[in-house]
Structure 1
Amino acid sequence: METVSLSARRLAEYVYRGGSIDATIGSANAMMEGTRIHQAVQKAYEDGDEKEKFLSRSLERDGIQFVLEGRCDGLLFRGDQVIVDEIKSTSRSLDEIESPVPVHEAQAMVYAWIIAEEQDLEEIRIQMTYVQSSSREEKRFMNTYQKSFLFEQVEKMVAIYEPFALLMHNRRKKRDDSIAALTFPFGEFRPGQRQLAGTVYRTIEEKGKLFAQAPTGIGKTISTLFPAVKAAGEGKVNQIVYATAKTTTRTTAEEAFRLMKNSGLEMTAVSMTAKDKICFKEKTICQKEYCEFADGHFDRINGAVMDILENEDLMTREVIEQYAMKHRVCPFEYSMDLSYVTDAMIGDYNYVFDPRVSRKRMAGEQKRSSVLLVDEAHNLPDRASAMYSAAIMKAPFLALSRVESLSKSIRDAAKRVNKAFLAIKKELESTYVMTDTCPEEWLEAVREFYEEAERAVHSGIREEGVLELYFAVRQLIAVTEQMDERFYIYIQKQRSDVMLKIVCMDPSDFIAGSAKGYRASVFFSATLSPVPYMRTMLGGVPEDYGLVLPSPFSKEQIDVRLLPVSTKYRDREVTISEITVTLAEAIRQHKGNFLIFFPSYQYMEMGYDEFMLEDEWEDLHILKQSARMTEEERDEFLAAYRTSDRQVIGFAVMGGVFSEGVDLPGDQLTGVAIVGVGLPQMNPERDELKKYFQARGLNGYQYAYVFPGMNKVLQAGGRLIRTESDSGVLLLIDDRYLTPQYQKLLPEEWK
């Protein structure tokens, strides 16, 4: 008999979700669960009551055994009465909730039926507890249900879900059969590929965590995806979550799935695209009054999901847009729904690690049977740090306080924050201050503004200024609740303005928390070095698996040259001429396409201007990266390396879009120059990071400056040799490359 495991929440949402999207206050689901709110309600339970009780029961229908499961918020015992308590937090005013929301009540009915069956109860009570997230005000609805009625309701829900379950069952059978026959899509493994694939497979099998450094050009994407796919076919993995830092690495993962599909794989994979990019409307306003795709979205979403699953395997952005237009559903929320039911999800780090946009419905059994693959993992610490940091400025509050069309209450709240900022500014004796606590009166004013803004948003106010500040303040308040020694506060005067920023220096615990619960997780990159440093920053422990693979390429493929001059800030004006003369000579001698990397835009501009004084350069196609390039401009920059009939010279920035995830094999790129050692600019914030790690017995300067800088250097240099037949020249420009500290951080083939 076929067995289908199904969470009560998933079943209730599938059957009862309806209506339109209103994402003004965040999630597409109007109600959001909050762990702390749940815990506060549960603290009031009496002795003998149970909380977070796991429930599971089977229900057979048409030869399929549905295993319904979930975690009941509370099971209360009052005399001879048994009560299922379902807690929901909401940003809405409780006055708007006149009866239980059907989808919530349906979820509680599944739990109540399971309890009634287990305890042989003829009737059972359901208590719906709604908690207003700002005020913590509570509102309850209590109803009594007969076991026979609950069974009828659960059976009806399962009957509605059954066609989808059959579709998923048939898809899975085809998937597993195709995986059994699937062979590695290339004729043979590159050196190191088999070892990486085997280690990933063993990590999944043993439910572990792996940190793998695999050199550029080894084929990391297929070497991690292929063993994960094989594990899925053997029932070890239900879903593959492939988290990426950039669009380019997402495309590489899509190509790997396409390659396996051409080899016979029948597996569904959805690619996530940011809401602002995939939105069909000019502005991303998720309300039915503005957007016809938000209007009635949930009434049409089940049909849209069934349609695409019946007809498509690889659901790229273009495919999602095609079906979203056909069914008139929001393409972003459509892809989010698909991410829970496809065999693989390819998406930005946000969907796994950012508490604001991570896939909150992925929990419990689904997460425990999923594998997390984190590509270009060296990028994750900085990205995660930003996710758990927040900043707001004074000026927007002053501007909002002067908008006459807004209510007096919200204008007054904005004035109070502005006034609190002015008080901070008055006390500042220099342009900035670093501290570890938020000013008390300022934080109180910010919280009052948040409550007023939330009420305004729910009453239908749509002014962008209110919405933007609402989201910014909500993020900041969430960060203040996490604050400990891993955070610092940076307050800075900016002419007439003031900025307050809360910075997360060490996101490692948050990264570890997000990865916890997956069957296995694999963090991999070409520059996961030094391994102890990266493992620490990514929330690992020494007991976790580690793998460092040597380069598959020979030293003869790369001609490393060194120009030992100072690129330190104080010496740049003096040495820039010598650097550009050396670059010009290398370009004239080499004749191939070059990428020249600098540690900052300012330094790059200096180098570019000096280089242009060397010659007319009419025989060169010279490109320069800009700080705010569009996707089209980036594509044009890279296309020149493939199509130009002149020698292409590109000026770019280390750590930018052209320094990683860029593949220019063969003659497209045969020369790379790296100016400097990539150190971040010295500033009070980096020094705070240095002090933080120093206090933990680590080398603070290396953790704050040297290691992050050299990761950028290694990524930039990795653009040069991409295949076994590539060769080229690598020019390292900095005298520090001769010192032992930096020598030991260079790959063997660069020494």
Structure 2
Amino acid sequence: MEKRRVAVRTLVETVMLSGSLSAMASSARLLDGIRGHQALQAVALDGARNEVSVSGTVSSEHIELTVYGRIDRLYGDSRVEEIKTTYLESERLLSGDPQHWAQAKCYAFLFCETAGLAQIDVSLTYFHLDTGEITTLTESYAVEQLGAFYALLTERYLHLLETEYVHERALREDVRQMAFPYPAFREGQHALAAQVYYAIREKSALLAQAPTGTGKTMAVLFPALKALADGHAAKIFYLTARTTQQEAAVNAAKLIHAPHLRAVVITAKEKMCVHDQPICREGDCPRAEGYYDRLGDALAEMNRLDGVFTPDVIRAYAAKHFLCPFELSLDLSLSCDLIICDYNYAFDPRVRLQRFFTTGRNGFVLLIDEAHNLPDRARSMYSAALSLADVTQTRRSIPKQQRKTPLYRALKRLETAFSAQFEGFDVPLSVTEPPEALTRAVEGALDQLSADSIPADRALARQLTFDLSSFRFVMDLYDARYRTLYQGGKTTRTITLFCTDASGKLAEIYKKCRSEILFSATLSPFVFYRDLSGVKAETPFLALPSPFPPENLAVYHLSLDTRFAAREATLRAVTESIRAFVSARRRGNYLVFAPSHAYLAKLSALLREMLPEVTFLEQSPKMDDAARAEFLAQFLPDATGITLGLAVMGGVFAEGIDLPAERLCGAVVVGVGLPQVCLERDVLRDAFEESYQSGFRYAYQYPGMSKVLQAAGRIIRTETDRGALLLIDTRYSLSDYRGLLPPHWKVERVRHKEELAGKVSAFWNESNA
């Protein structure tokens, strides 16, 4: 029989779904709840014991289930007490919450079974966090009554596990018979797939660099599913840095012939919500009211199906059953084999999928796509910023007649405490101490903002609540790898709790999983990504060669100074070089990658003046998914003229997009991608110099060159693609930068635009011969 374990609380919450969605409690309130619970347990009473462990085992046809938990307080052999903290008034607690009673009754039954008791008293005690009032409800039960109730819950849970068991066996049979979905592996693809399977089987990690065109997605997902079928994984998470990268995983999952594979794509709440502002609680969203009463029917219907549940599919079922589509995707994920989602849902402590990542080692496999993004993304997840302007704007949104309310006073106190932090400082400034004096004011404002009814603007209050919760949460994480940044003028002041290195936080998540596979086209230098991604020092690194003939990509280097101080002086020369590069063929689609939006705008103006016959596409700072799709749709094969796309290095069009064959024939990269010099980057430089003795390289050079390689990787996507790349910057002549370029690139240095035009023309003439 297959052995499973479930906590009493999880058992109850799974089989007794009912009621409405509620907004997530703030971290301050969650902390208050823990403290309140502990305070009540700390009261010494004769014969009372706290946190008494109990367990029991039940079985079905294929499953042996151990139910376990801890009794909050046990009074001899006579009474079991379950303690809950609350903000509800005592009159609303007259009968107690059914789920709370269920937990208490399960603990009571398990204790009676162990102690051989015929009956016992069961108490449900509520501790009011604001007033300190204690409300205790007590009922007496015979063990037969408790046993019947317990059997009802465990039978329902075992039924779910049996359904899951049948699905798992069917999927395993599918995958064992599953053939690779292409006629043959590409060069390097089989080696990558073998290493991925080995790492999962051995419960280890892998860093894999596979050049664009290797077929990384399939080479990683296919062996992961094989490992799942062989019992080496409980669930697979395919994690991406951008929504655009999820499409490749969805397509691969659909292409793999495994009829019983069940996959779900989890998309951000803001994108899934049917309202302009997602506020998930009764009274604000009708879909939140009675959500759990309707959820069971929706899940029962969806769990009879297999395949990939995309956001559109989830929205359709959510509409049918009048449910929140985002919450439905989360609840559906529990019964899925493959979960495709953003990094946030595994790593960010504020939005992490608690249902998966709060327990101990869980058998999950993390497939981390475009893993070169992980260090920066992880740092942002464990950082938090607070703006004085946001506090002031929220306070001023309170109507004048309500400016004596507790919320108004709390926000005013927060503003005063915030401004006091800047006294005696010359900003911008970085310090190693947290702003402890702000804590009380932050918690006071949070308490008032968390009230059911507030007089401030809802959208402003909601954002400020999130910011304050994040700030308070990160304050508790503050350690030697944090700095406090003070920035801005008198009305634009911000305080940032800045995480300089999140590798330790990532390592804690990895400990809960079976295996982590980090893969990208750009994971060099290996030591840099190993240090900052949280994997163990002994983690192997697999670097695959390009699967395509090196002569298919012509790489040219033109030495023009594009450093910030020289950009104005060389702008026209850069523009003329781009004109020479794209005009040498007279037709085709090209991308030009600029170091910033400001530079891109100047480049665009000059290029449009020089090339009036060219069709221009330009990335704007805030493009939504539809605008991005429209941008890429203009890159058509068999172009008769020239289409020139202008984009920012490191942006949405520089990685994770696929424009094979004639949809893209060339790219220009202006600069070496270094991040803009700022306080944050300088703080990182100093911290990395102290930790790794590589301050400038880790903070500026390596992240910058990763952007260059990602942008260049858009050109050659298949075995038959041919294309040209132009690198513009003096620094490509330096060994420190040239040594970071792929070894298979044959870089030709050109002295001026005329020589460039001649060489590019010759390359295309040779291609057409």
- State the TM-score, normalizing by the size of structure 1: 0.91
| Unaligned runs of at least 5 residues, structure 2 | 747-769
Aligned residue among 559, 577, 580 for 2:575: 580
Aligned residue among 690, 695, 700 for 2:695: 700
Change in CA separation of 1:348 and 1:52 when aligned onto 2, cut-off 3 Å: farther
**Equivalent AA in structure 1 for residue 332 of structure 2:** L
Q: How does 1:127-138 map to 2 (within 5 A)?
A: none
1:350 matched to 2:344: yes
Aligned residue among 405, 424, 439 for 1:408: 405
The answer to whether the 8 A contact 2:266-2:311 is kept is yes
Q: Distance in 2 between matches of 1:441 and 1:562?
A: 54
Deviation at 1:23, TM superposition (A): 1.8
The answer to whether the 8 A contact 1:654-1:678 is kept is yes
**Equivalent AA in structure 2 for residue 69 of structure 1:** V
Deviation at 1:613, TM superposition (A): 3.1
1:727 matched to 2:722: yes
Q: How does 1:313-392 map to 2 (within 5 A)?
A: 313-363=307-357, 368-392=362-386
Residue in structure 2 matched with residue 422 of structure 1 by the alignment: 419
Residue in structure 2 matched with residue 301 of structure 1 by the alignment: 295
Aligned residue among 545, 549, 554 for 1:550: 545
1:183 matched to 2:179: yes
The answer to whether the 8 A contact 2:560-2:730 is kept is yes
Q: Distance in 1 between matches of 2:35 and 2:531?
A: 28
Deviation at 1:495, TM superposition (A): 5.4
- CA deviations on 1:701-738 (whole Å, 9 max, x unpaired) are 11111111111111111111111111111111112112
Deviates more, 1:167-176 or 1:523-532: 167-176
- CA deviations on 1:1-32 (whole Å, 9 max, x unpaired) are 676655433331122221221226469xx989
Deviation at 1:439, TM superposition (A): 4.2
Q: How does 1:267-306 map to 2 (within 5 A)?
A: 267-306=261-300
1:679 matched to 2:662: no
The answer to whether the 8 A contact 2:206-2:518 is kept is yes
Q: Distance in 2 between matches of 1:266 and 1:353?
A: 28
Identity among equivalent pairs (%): 36
Aligned residue among 627, 630, 637 for 2:624: 630
SS in 2 for 1:544: coil
1:58 matched to 2:57: yes
Residue in structure 2 matched with residue 540 of structure 1 by the alignment: 535
Q: How does 1:168-179 map to 2 (within 5 A)?
A: 168-179=164-175
Q: Distance in 1 between matches of 2:286 and 2:48?
A: 50
Change in CA separation of 1:724 and 1:648 when aligned onto 2, cut-off 3 Å: same
Deviates more, 1:265-274 or 1:85-94: 85-94
**Equivalent AA in structure 2 for residue 258 of structure 1:** K
Q: Distance in 2 between matches of 1:737 and 1:146?
A: 81
Deviation at 1:488, TM superposition (A): 1.3
Change in CA separation of 1:479 and 1:44 when aligned onto 2, cut-off 3 Å: farther
Residue in structure 2 matched with residue 484 of structure 1 by the alignment: 479
Q: Distance in 1 between matches of 2:8 and 2:75?
A: 25
The answer to whether the 8 A contact 1:179-1:233 is kept is yes
The answer to whether the 8 A contact 1:242-1:375 is kept is yes
SS in 2 for 1:667: helix
Deviation at 1:128, TM superposition (A): 5.2
Residue in structure 2 matched with residue 214 of structure 1 by the alignment: 210
Residue in structure 2 matched with residue 22 of structure 1 by the alignment: 22
Q: Distance in 2 between matches of 1:515 and 1:44?
A: 38
Deviation at 1:686, TM superposition (A): 0.9
Residue in structure 1 matched with residue 761 of structure 2 by the alignment: none
**Equivalent AA in structure 2 for residue 15 of structure 1:** V
Deviation at 1:275, TM superposition (A): 1.1
Q: Distance in 1 between matches of 2:185 and 2:26?
A: 46
Residue in structure 2 matched with residue 10 of structure 1 by the alignment: 10
- CA deviations on 1:613-655 (whole Å, 9 max, x unpaired) are 3232x1x211111101121111111001126653211111111
Q: Distance in 2 between matches of 1:710 and 1:52?
A: 56
Residue in structure 1 matched with residue 739 of structure 2 by the alignment: 744
- CA deviations on 1:256-307 (whole Å, 9 max, x unpaired) are 11001xx343210011111111112343232333433212111010110010
- CA deviations on 1:330-349 (whole Å, 9 max, x unpaired) are 11111100111211111111
Q: Distance in 2 between matches of 1:6 and 1:656?
A: 44
The answer to whether the 8 A contact 1:178-1:266 is kept is yes
SS in 2 for 1:362: helix
Q: Distance in 1 between matches of 2:516 and 2:164?
A: 25
1:446 matched to 2:446: no
Residue in structure 1 matched with residue 760 of structure 2 by the alignment: none
Deviation at 1:141, TM superposition (A): 5.8
The answer to whether the 8 A contact 2:119-2:140 is kept is yes
Q: Distance in 1 between matches of 2:37 and 2:425?
A: 40
Change in CA separation of 1:491 and 1:352 when aligned onto 2, cut-off 3 Å: same
The answer to whether the 8 A contact 2:687-2:695 is kept is yes
Q: Distance in 2 between matches of 1:253 and 1:346?
A: 7
Deviation at 1:684, TM superposition (A): 2.0
SS in 2 for 1:750: coil
| Unaligned runs of at least 5 residues, structure 1 | none
Change in CA separation of 1:276 and 1:255 when aligned onto 2, cut-off 3 Å: same
SS in 2 for 1:729: strand
**Equivalent AA in structure 2 for residue 361 of structure 1:** R
Change in CA separation of 1:530 and 1:130 when aligned onto 2, cut-off 3 Å: farther
Deviation at 1:91, TM superposition (A): 6.6
**Equivalent AA in structure 1 for residue 670 of structure 2:** V
SS in 2 for 1:212: strand
The answer to whether the 8 A contact 1:353-1:511 is kept is yes
Change in CA separation of 1:646 and 1:134 when aligned onto 2, cut-off 3 Å: farther
- CA deviations on 1:657-688 (whole Å, 9 max, x unpaired) are 00010000101111011111110111222111
Change in CA separation of 1:39 and 1:673 when aligned onto 2, cut-off 3 Å: farther
Aligned residue among 233, 241, 255 for 2:251: 255
**Equivalent AA in structure 2 for residue 417 of structure 1:** L
Q: Distance in 1 between matches of 2:136 and 2:538?
A: 47
Change in CA separation of 1:149 and 1:437 when aligned onto 2, cut-off 3 Å: same
Deviates more, 1:686-695 or 1:401-410: 401-410
Change in CA separation of 1:132 and 1:556 when aligned onto 2, cut-off 3 Å: farther
Q: Distance in 2 between matches of 1:394 and 1:461?
A: 16
- CA deviations on 1:565-600 (whole Å, 9 max, x unpaired) are 211111111222221111111101133311111121
- CA deviations on 1:421-454 (whole Å, 9 max, x unpaired) are 333455444x422222344544432222222223
Deviates more, 1:222-231 or 1:125-134: 125-134
The answer to whether the 8 A contact 2:485-2:498 is kept is yes
Q: How does 1:39-54 map to 2 (within 5 A)?
A: 51=51, 53=53
Change in CA separation of 1:68 and 1:303 when aligned onto 2, cut-off 3 Å: farther
Residue in structure 2 matched with residue 507 of structure 1 by the alignment: 502
Q: Distance in 2 between matches of 1:179 and 1:33?
A: 47
- State the TM-score, normalizing by the size of structure 2: 0.89
Residue in structure 1 matched with residue 765 of structure 2 by the alignment: none
Deviates more, 1:74-83 or 1:4-13: 74-83
**Equivalent AA in structure 2 for residue 727 of structure 1:** R
Deviation at 1:743, TM superposition (A): 1.9
The answer to whether the 8 A contact 1:90-1:133 is kept is yes
Alpha-carbon RMSD: 3.1
Residue in structure 2 matched with residue 602 of structure 1 by the alignment: 598
Change in CA separation of 1:111 and 1:77 when aligned onto 2, cut-off 3 Å: closer
Change in CA separation of 1:704 and 1:4 when aligned onto 2, cut-off 3 Å: closer
Deviates more, 1:404-413 or 1:556-565: 404-413
- CA deviations on 1:180-212 (whole Å, 9 max, x unpaired) are 211111111111111111111111111112222
Deviation at 1:134, TM superposition (A): 8.4
SS in 1 for 2:488: strand
The answer to whether the 8 A contact 2:362-2:514 is kept is yes
